[in-house]
A and B are shown apart, each in its own frame.
Chain A
Amino acid sequence: MFEYIIKRFLFAVPILIGVNLITFALFFMVNTPEDMARAQLGAKQTTPEMIQSWKVENGYDKPLFFNTDATGLDKVQQTLFVQESLKLFAFDFGQSDSGRQISADIQERMGPSLSIALPTFIIGLVTNISLALLIVLFRGSRLDTVTMMVAVAIMSISGLFYIIAGQVLFSKVWHWVPISGYTEGWEGVKFLILPIFIGVFAGIGAGMRWYRSIFLEEMSKDYVRTAKAKGLTDIKVLFGHVLHNGMLPILTGVVVIIPTLFMGSLIMESFFGIPGLGSYTIDAINAQDFGIVKAMVFLGSVLYIIGLILTDISYTFFDPRVKLS
């Protein structure tokens, strides 16, 4: 397995180079270094001297992919792409175009993002699987039909609606929790209750339907019929056999998400005032801060690749037939 993991990480290198290449090309297709300088320096009183000085200071005076003024290998090395990409592979994210250290910012924002994303993920997963099993238990009944209709209704409504309605109902009308805000430690729990509840609730429709379809497929298999023939109750069949065998397709979709939980949720964090990573990239794109954009795209790609590798590894725990080689 160790060899397999090493191999997968090595395969990741060209993928990350490709992702970087596309990020650089797309970003500079839309923004010129002059635009970036103006965005950082402000619209008032900006002179060509200031722009040039800013470009030199931030390394944007170098060509993007090919330096015609250099000689030999420097033609490629003395370019923005190579200089910045190399640092990324050493996980040196450097500083944002506004001068802040990106690594420090990411570390600071990761905690708040996780404080919402992790409970929402775990509670959501448990809730969705439990409800799906419950519905499978009553498959074909009126409860099944009604629940599926409700699930479709929940799926059809925008997440934004749940956020605003939740804030109005639970905070403004019933005064149960603060509308928005964040504090570290146990005192901060009151700020997390509502976003986590809304996050779980908004995901129930899609999650429940997906897990239900997985479990229903399992229910139609021979081993379930055999278990029932042996006299096992539905609950024992579901929790003892169907849930275990249904984990493989569930893992495919779930484990890959785990590392990316660090990246946070844009809308949720924005509305609830959570100082996480959710809006970090979007804010950087709006501010034309390439330092942050390239770092976050790179980090996102790395986390996604780690998620895929973890998924493969997790298969071996639930299906002994799977061997990584």
Chain B
Amino acid sequence: MTNYFYVLPVRNEFFKSLLTLLMGLMLVSHLSLVLAGNWNNPYTEEQVASSTLFSSFSQSPKHLDPVVSYSSNEWAILSQVYEPPLQYHYLKRPYTLEPLTLQKMPNIRYLDKNHTPVSSDSPDLVFTEYLFTLKQGIQFHLHPAFVKDSSGAFLYHQLNAQDVDDIKSVMDFEQQATRELLAADYVYALKRMALRQNHSPVLDAMKQYIVGLDEFSKQVSEQYQTELNAQNKRTQTHFFDLNSFDIKGVQVVDKYRYKVLIKGTYPQFLYWLTMNFFAPIPWEAVAFYKQSILVEKNITLDTSPVGTGPYQLVENNPNKRMRLLANEHYRLEQYPSEGLVEGADPKLLLDAGKPLPFVKEVIYSLEKESVPLWNKFLQGYYDASGVSSDSFDQAVSVSSTGNMSLTPEMQEKGIQFLNIVQPTIMYFGFNMADPVIGGYSEKQQKLRQALSIAINFEEYISIFLNGRGEPAQGPIPPGIFGYTEGESGINRVIFDWKAGRLQRKSIDVAKQLLAEAGYPNGIGKDGKPLTLHYDTAATGPDSQSILNWYRKQFALLGIELVIRATDYNRFQDKVRKAKVQMFSWGWNADYPDPENFLFLLNGANATIHTNGSGINSANYDNPEFNRLFQQMKTMENTPERLEIIQKMLNIAQEDAPWAWGYYPKALSLYHSWQHNVWPNPLANNTIKYRRIDAVERVEKQTLWNPPVMWPFVVVLLLIVASIYPLISAYRQRQTAVISNKQDKV
């Protein structure tokens, strides 16, 4: 009785409170729904509703200084900001160069030793002269470095601590100004490249071609170092005036024209001119950024670029977000009105002739993990996404013939799909300097040919890449001059052409070749199975299945494969010193020329001949191949050149310094509200062509992300409901203790 006496009122109060809470909760949730829109929207509503492109990056950019940066993740941002003289046409294939800041393609003259013009095939040809003529009226982004006071002196070039108290980025300076792009800015960029202390990765390559660059580099680098030592300063905080030095082969002709003199001929030089190394740099910005007070705040040319491009980097937090804003003063550049390849979506020309850029803001958010990236794409909060192995089955279905298409779930969302073979080769290399696996005798050739057949890359692509790749026939990937499609382009050492399809030779053929190489059934002269060593930096648990697969392929021939896994430093070191037998590596095109792939097999570039700095890691050195390479490398893309390339490929295929590997495919998905998406793996400045339909995006995001309220109510109910039994149990426990004690007493 006593218990009921005090429990009943508690129960009534409890249910009253519960009811009040529930009503309050429903009201709050209803209001929240009405007022707040999508709760899981990581951006502001204004951003989503505007012409903003939402993208992500997984690796923080380390360098945004155009003479230093050489990574694709950095170029993805940098190429929207800086403008080298040339660019790739967005739509045309094969890849075609066109002027970007130039009025027209450079004028090219061939000169003899006295600088007298000669024909391109003249034996007296010693130099090639490129004359660049800039478009007039191009302006740099607004930047404090250009601001001058009434006396004409730079306002922000002598800053003190108080001046930058509230400054976190260059955008925080009260005054901003601009100036016109001049030919001297391009020449200044070349001079910066030559300064050894700037660590430009292409300096040593360019020294071979640009007249006087080597001497200039030595001169200015030594002088700069002398000044640094004398003043006990670091390069970040000491401005070195390069304007007072000249490169012999580089000359400012007038305000809008400059010349570059190249040793001999080097047609690939034009491709280099699409890269950010050759983008203009205003000297005022360099002088401005050398102030130690700014360097302490990480405000440098390496973090805050200043260019002439369609976008300006207004926020750079490499650990969080990069934000580009459309350049309001961008000159009139129009969307292309021609060049669509056969089979491409005609909608790609709907915006022909319209001024660029379309997207007004680009937000790159750091996403280190693939799971949140993928889920946010599905929610509509990223406009595009790649396809990781984890999400492949959800996104893509592969037919029995290997054709890829979107799954019904993706199609229902209106997601679009692009699938292209990249200008990249991932190869399995044999060290030609190794006494067992290397060498040029017929037997050694046959050993490598047998292995090339046994390592079934079609199977590799199917198992480990979800079909995202094509078996390589040689070093040149599709889309590059010299690659031949179909039967005439196959590697006949490894493949046959049957029923209109590529077919790998049987393992019996490989066994036969192995026997002819002196290893019948994989057994050597000593009666023991042949043991080969594969060096790799793949040490993680995910790599074990790939390494086991390699072992299995070698076991098909009776060969024992020993895996020598090590860290990446040691692996690189071993390859450089030719202390490996077999290894895997890859190469991504710098420019769309076969020379950029065939030089990977040129003997002069062998690591053992270059003290480890060469890029021919297989140390392949066939004199005939080398001779043809020299002949081919400076030729125009003519049928004669194609014939030479074919000869080179045949030689390499017979020698088999690589097991050739595969050309990877890039899959990208993008939402229906993003337009003008066209893959161009060699061009990085493509955001200006994209267009966003923000209205459609908002509609779909709202449709896909309504907050689900019932779990919230259930959880709260459970919490509230558990309070009563707890109180009840506590009271019972208290009285139980008392009564027990009373009983005992």
Contact residues of A with B, CB < 8 Å?
30-32, 35, 38, 40-50, 53-54, 56-57, 95, 98-101, 103-105, 108-109, 112, 134, 137-138, 141, 143, 164, 167-168, 171-182, 187, 190-191, 233-235, 270-273, 275-276, 279, 283, 287-288
Do B205 and A178 touch (CB < 8 A)? no
Q: Cβ of B303: which chain A residues have Cβ within 8 Å of it? A: 100
Would A30 and B569 be within 8 Å (CB), given that A104-B296, A179-B375 are in contact? Answer: yes
A-facing residues in B608-642 (Cβ within 8 Å): 611, 613, 615
Would A171 and B300 be within 8 Å (CB), given that A49-B196, A178-B40 are in contact? Answer: no
Do B39 and A177 touch (CB < 8 A)? yes
7 extra interchain contacts, Cβ-Cβ under 8 A, other than A35-B572, A44-B615?
A45-B70, A45-B204, A56-B225, A98-B62, A134-B726, A138-B730, A187-B44
Q: List 27 A-B contacts (CB under 8 A).
A: A30-B567, A30-B569, A40-B62, A42-B71, A42-B201, A43-B572, A50-B203, A53-B196, A53-B221, A99-B63, A101-B295, A104-B296, A105-B319, A109-B319, A143-B729, A167-B371, A167-B375, A168-B375, A172-B379, A178-B40, A178-B381, A180-B367, A180-B369, A180-B376, A234-B733, A273-B368, A283-B60
Expressed in whole angstroms, the Cα–Cα distance for A187 and B40 within the complex equals 12
Q: Distance (Å) between the CB of A117 and the closest chain B CB?
A: 16
Q: Cβ of B248: which chain A residues have Cβ within 8 Å of it? A: none
B711's closest neighbor in chain A, by CB? A174
Do B372 and A167 touch (CB < 8 A)? yes
Q: Cβ of A270: which chain B residues have Cβ within 8 Å of it? A: 368-369
Do B729 and A141 touch (CB < 8 A)? yes
A274's closest neighbor in chain B, by CB? B320
Do A46 and B236 touch (CB < 8 A)? no
Is B721 part of the binding interface, using a Cβ–Cβ cutoff of 8 Å?
Answer: no
Q: Distance (Å) between the CB of A47 and the closest chain B CB?
A: 4
Would A95 and B320 be within 8 Å (CB), given that A49-B204, A141-B729 are in contact? Answer: no
Q: Cβ of B531: which chain A residues have Cβ within 8 Å of it? A: none
Q: Cβ of A190: which chain B residues have Cβ within 8 Å of it? A: 39
Do B366 and A273 touch (CB < 8 A)? yes
Do A35 and B365 touch (CB < 8 A)? no
Q: Distance (Å) between the CB of B621 and the closest chain A CB?
A: 20
Would A175 and B204 be within 8 Å (CB), given that A57-B235, A273-B367 are in contact? Answer: no
Do B204 and A50 touch (CB < 8 A)? yes
3 nearest A-B pairs in the assembled complex, by CB-CB distance: A275-B320, A181-B42, A178-B42
Expressed in whole angstroms, the Cα–Cα distance for A234 and B41 within the complex equals 47
Do B40 and A53 touch (CB < 8 A)? no
Question: What 0/1 pattern do residues 323 to 361 of B give for CB contact below 8 A with A?
Answer: 000000000000000000000000000000000000000
User: Which of B2-10, B111-119, B403-411, B702-710 lies on the face that meets chain A?
Assistant: B702-710
Would A175 and B38 be within 8 Å (CB), given that A53-B196, A99-B302 are in contact? Answer: yes
Task: Label chain B's interface by main secondary structure.
Answer: loop
A142's closest neighbor in chain B, by CB? B729
Do A275 and B201 touch (CB < 8 A)? no
Expressed in whole angstroms, the Cα–Cα distance for A269 and B290 within the complex equals 33
Expressed in whole angstroms, the Cα–Cα distance for A143 and B60 within the complex equals 49
Expressed in whole angstroms, the Cα–Cα distance for A112 and B225 within the complex equals 39
Q: Distance (Å) between the CB of A247 and the closest chain B CB?
A: 24
Do A105 and B298 touch (CB < 8 A)? yes
Do A54 and B199 touch (CB < 8 A)? yes
Expressed in whole angstroms, the Cα–Cα distance for A15 and B614 within the complex equals 45
Total A-B residue pairs with C-beta atoms closer than 8 Å?
163
Q: Distance (Å) between the CB of A282 and the closest chain B CB?
A: 11
Question: What 0/1 pattern do residues 690 to 725 of B give for CB contact below 8 A with A?
Answer: 000000000000000111100110000000000000
A137's closest neighbor in chain B, by CB? B730
Q: Cβ of A45: which chain B residues have Cβ within 8 Å of it? A: 70, 201-202, 204-205
Name the residue in B38, B300, B613, B707 with the highest tally of chain A Cβ atoms < 10 Å from its Cβ.
Answer: B613
Contact residues of B with A, CB < 8 Å?
38-42, 44, 60, 62-63, 70-71, 196-197, 199, 201-205, 221, 225, 234-236, 295-298, 300, 302-303, 317, 319-321, 365-369, 371-372, 375-376, 378-379, 381, 567, 569, 572-573, 590, 611, 613, 615, 705-708, 711-712, 726, 729-730, 733-734
Which of these, A48, A53, A181, contacts B365 with CB under 8 Å? A181
Do B368 and A275 touch (CB < 8 A)? no
Q: Cβ of A234: which chain B residues have Cβ within 8 Å of it? A: 730, 733-734
Expressed in whole angstroms, the Cα–Cα distance for A134 and B729 within the complex equals 12
Expressed in whole angstroms, the Cα–Cα distance for A49 and B198 within the complex equals 12
Do B707 and A44 touch (CB < 8 A)? no
Q: Cβ of B41: which chain A residues have Cβ within 8 Å of it? A: 178
Would A275 and B366 be within 8 Å (CB), given that A45-B205, A179-B372, A179-B376 are in contact? Answer: yes
Q: Cβ of B221: which chain A residues have Cβ within 8 Å of it? A: 53
Do B365 and A95 touch (CB < 8 A)? no
Expressed in whole angstroms, the Cα–Cα distance for A235 and B235 within the complex equals 67
Q: Cβ of B302: which chain A residues have Cβ within 8 Å of it? A: 99
Which of these, B40, B201, B615, B733, contacts A171 with CB under 8 Å? B40
Expressed in whole angstroms, the Cα–Cα distance for A287 and B62 within the complex equals 10
Which of these, A41, A103, A104, A109, contacts B199 with CB under 8 Å? A41
Which of these, A50, A101, A164, contacts B297 with CB under 8 Å? A101
B225's closest neighbor in chain A, by CB? A56
Expressed in whole angstroms, the Cα–Cα distance for A283 and B58 within the complex equals 12
Do B199 and A50 touch (CB < 8 A)? yes
Do A46 and B201 touch (CB < 8 A)? yes
Q: Cβ of A100: which chain B residues have Cβ within 8 Å of it? A: 298, 303
Do B707 and A176 touch (CB < 8 A)? yes
Do B42 and A191 touch (CB < 8 A)? yes
Which of these, A48, A172, A176, contacts B39 with CB under 8 Å? A176
Expressed in whole angstroms, the Cα–Cα distance for A179 and B494 within the complex equals 48
Q: Cβ of B235: which chain A residues have Cβ within 8 Å of it? A: 57
Do B572 and A179 touch (CB < 8 A)? no
Would A279 and B38 be within 8 Å (CB), given that A30-B567, A45-B202, A98-B62 are in contact? Answer: no
Q: Distance (Å) between the CB of A212 and the closest chain B CB?
A: 16
Expressed in whole angstroms, the Cα–Cα distance for A31 and B71 within the complex equals 22
Expressed in whole angstroms, the Cα–Cα distance for A171 and B297 within the complex equals 36
Would A57 and B197 be within 8 Å (CB), given that A175-B38, A175-B708 are in contact? Answer: yes
Expressed in whole angstroms, the Cα–Cα distance for A167 and B369 within the complex equals 12
Do A173 and B320 touch (CB < 8 A)? no
Q: Cβ of B611: which chain A residues have Cβ within 8 Å of it? A: 48
Do A104 and B298 touch (CB < 8 A)? yes
Q: Cβ of A235: which chain B residues have Cβ within 8 Å of it? A: 730
Expressed in whole angstroms, the Cα–Cα distance for A105 and B297 within the complex equals 9
Would A279 and B734 be within 8 Å (CB), given that A45-B204, A109-B319 are in contact? Answer: no
Q: Distance (Å) between the CB of A156 and the closest chain B CB?
A: 21
Expressed in whole angstroms, the Cα–Cα distance for A207 and B368 within the complex equals 29
Q: Distance (Å) between the CB of B325 and the closest chain A CB?
A: 18
Would A175 and B375 be within 8 Å (CB), given that A53-B196, A104-B296, A275-B319 are in contact? Answer: no
Q: Distance (Å) between the CB of A107 and the closest chain B CB?
A: 10
Do B202 and A38 touch (CB < 8 A)? no
Expressed in whole angstroms, the Cα–Cα distance for A279 and B372 within the complex equals 17
Do B70 and A44 touch (CB < 8 A)? yes
Q: Cβ of B201: which chain A residues have Cβ within 8 Å of it? A: 41-42, 44-46, 50
Q: Distance (Å) between the CB of B38 and the closest chain A CB?
A: 7
Expressed in whole angstroms, the Cα–Cα distance for A38 and B569 within the complex equals 9
Expressed in whole angstroms, the Cα–Cα distance for A191 and B221 within the complex equals 48
Expressed in whole angstroms, the Cα–Cα distance for A138 and B734 within the complex equals 10
Q: Cβ of A99: which chain B residues have Cβ within 8 Å of it? A: 63, 236, 300, 302
